[in-house]
Structure formats: C-alpha cells, structure tokens
Amino acid sequence: MSADAQAPAVDAPLTGAEAVVLVGGRGMRLRPLTLSAPKPMLPTAGVPFLSHLLSRIRQAGIRHVVLGTSYKAEVFAEHFGDGSRFGLDLEYVVEEEPLDTAGAVRNVADRLRADDVLVFNGDIISGVDLRGLVATHRDNAADVTLHLVKVDDPRRFGCVPTDAAGRVTAFLEKTDNPPVDQINAGCYVFRRPVIDAIPAGRPVSVERETFPGLLDAGARLQGHVDASYWLDMGTPEAFVRGSADLVLGVVPSAALPAEPGEALLLPGAEVAGDADVRGGSTIGRGCTVGPGARVTGSVLFDGARIGAGAVVERSVIGANAQVGPGSVVRGAIIGDGATIGERCELLDGIRVWPGVEIPAVGVRFSADA
C-alpha cells in the first residue's frame, strides 16, 4: 500500500485547531496539464500534490480539514472520500462563484469547529513547522498569524515587514528595493471570530482587504518567520522542480510512495537497462523508457512512452503521451495523449496540447524562437 493510501505517523493531537485548504483555482498557468485535473490533483512525486499537504497536516496532529473547492470539485471527493483512509476527517465546500482568498475562507465558516484555523493555499509546498506556527499564534494571542518565509530575491513578491516583537506592520507591493526579505508564504492561522467577520457572499482578498483592514483596526497580526523550504507550484517550471525535490528528499513528505532517491518508478513502469533516469524524476505507472534514453528532473504521467535515445529534461510528459526516438524535450510540457515524432526538439517553455501530433523529423520548436 502506498503512503498515499494510508495515514502517516502523527504527532500528538493539536487540540483546538483545524485546517482549511483552498483548492478552487483553475490552474491557468499550468495549462494544458490542468485541462484534465485540478492543479492540486496533478501527479506530483507519485501521488496527487494535495496528498503531500494533507500528510503534513495529519502529521502535525490536525484531523478535521475542510477543502474549499470549485474547478472540477468532484475529483477531490472521488479520490480522498471522507478522509478516513488518510487518518483525516474531510469535508468539502464548493465555491459556486470566485470569492478570492478571504471570501473562500468565509465560505466554509459554517463547517468550522475549532478556535484556531490553519488556512493553506493549495498550491504551495513548504517545510514550515506547523505546530511551531500554531505555538507562535497562541503565545502572542494573535488574531491572525502569517507564515513569512525569507527568500533570496524578494523583488518578485510583495514583502511583509515585522517589528522587533514579530508583529506585522505593513503589506507592501512588489518593488525593486524591498525593505525586507520576508514574504507572505500563503499559510495562516486565524482566530475563528476573524473568519466570521469577513464579509460573506462576495470576493474578498486577504492581502488587499482583510489583512490591511485588520491592521487599521489595531488587530494583532503576528509573523512566524523562517527560512524553510517554500515553493509556489503554480508554473510548469516550479511544478517540475517541486516534484523532483520531493523525490530527492529535499523536502520530506510522508506521502512519498517510496524512499527518496534519484528517481521514483511507480508500479508497471519499464526502464531499459541502459537508460539513464535521475534528478528526482518520476516514471508513472505503465510508462516505458527506451534503450539509451535519458530522463532528468522530469515527471512522466501514467502510460507515457519515451523512445530509444530520446532526452527529456525538466519537463512533464502527459498521460499516454509519446516522445519519439532521438527527440529532445527540454523545459517543455507535453499534454495527455500527444505524440512527438522522431528527432524533434521541443525547448524552452514549449507546451503541446493534448492529442496533438508532431510527426515531422528534425523539426525544432522553441518558445524563444
């Protein structure tokens, strides 16, 4: 039985706390992968990405989790059910119209039972100590506690300064000269009354409305700052990197179906003896990797086939897609059921839609061309 199908080892129960996971986005930046599945359900290091997050929540001692769904909502319940197989008590709330981050949290308020509610963006992979995050929240009697992560280059993000006591002082937009290197990591702890006070039935943003409004009202917004692993899985490049880091063990996950290593081969995968598979690659169920082929830091969904001598690097190959002998796929996304002919080159951000056939020999495609 894979780790995705059983409850991981768990810390002592974290009393008075529960979790909300926001998984309603359409994943437009990951198309065409998300044409067939919501982003949190894409195969990531052998299991749906959401499995890794739920295993961390369970390990922290939290049992009750509410999923705020929207796009292809039925897929979540079909896979996870009531959560008992994973040692969780799962509920689902479907968002009929887009409500933004705070609005989505308010939309599930009637399912909440605890005093402290951890809220997760469902496309973030992180190594933050969840019990430590809750301890920071409680020790400071905060209204909301934000996980803030230090990054090497905060210019791509809005930054969140804190004072000497760790209290949040502002929410700043992206700038070329950010005053601090800590950013909003998309994970929060709310006191229940704060959630109940969010306006219901309309879009509300935590970053643009809820948090600034709380600051103006004198509420206590606390920062929990660390330098743990953190990655927004919203782009193809990040998705591939995150999956590889999970396989390599750079970020631990109890949902990983095998011990960390250079590659993860799922049941039924066939790899030729002289093929080279490494860099945290995942080879899905029923996949074949032909003689002399090289697969590095990539994700092959179930049933994908890689021809003899082909090279696949930092790419995603969709379910039942084919890469012909001698072809090179580097930094590309190949949709489900697509066919890449012999000796083609697909490079630098190319995306091939599901079912598309590229039969030409020697054709080179690049997003930079």
pLDDT digits (tens, 9 = 90+) for 319-335: 999 999 999 999 999 99
**Is the C-alpha dihedral spanning 149, 153, 158, 163 positive or negative?**
positive
Q: What is the pLDDT of residue 27?
A: 64
Range of the domain at 192: 3-239+243-248
Final residue of a structural domain among 222, 248, 274: 248
Q: What is the pLDDT of residue 6?
A: 47
Q: Does residue 313 sit within a domain?
A: yes
Q: Does residue 255 sit within a domain?
A: no
- Token pair for residue 291? 């003689």
Q: Does residue 254 sit within a domain?
A: no
Q: CA dihedral in degrees (241, 246, 249, 250; nearest 10)?
A: 40
Is there a single domain that holds both residue 233 and residue 88? yes
Q: What is the pLDDT of residue 364?
A: 65
Which residue in the block uniquely carries the two structure tokens 């506690």?
A: 145
Cα→Cα distances 112→18, 51, 97, 107, Å: 8, 21, 21, 10
Q: Does residue 24 sit within a domain?
A: yes
Is there a single domain that holds both residue 93 and residue 207? yes
Residue 329 phi, psi dihedral angles, 5° rounding? -125, 110
Q: What is the pLDDT of residue 15?
A: 85
C-alpha–C-alpha distance, residues 7 and 185, integer Å: 26
Burial class (CB in 10 A: 0-12, 13-18, 19+), 181: middle
Final residue of a structural domain among 199, 217, 248: 248
Q: Does residue 224 sit within a domain?
A: yes
Is there a single domain that holds both residue 286 and residue 217? no
Q: What is the pLDDT of residue 244?
A: 96
- Residues of the chain scoring pLDDT < 50: 1-3, 5-8, 369
Q: Tens digit of pLDDT for each residue in 251-277?
A: 989 999 999 999 999 999 999 999 999
Final residue of a structural domain among 193, 220, 248: 248
Q: What is the pLDDT of residue 25?
A: 73
Q: Does residue 158 sit within a domain?
A: yes
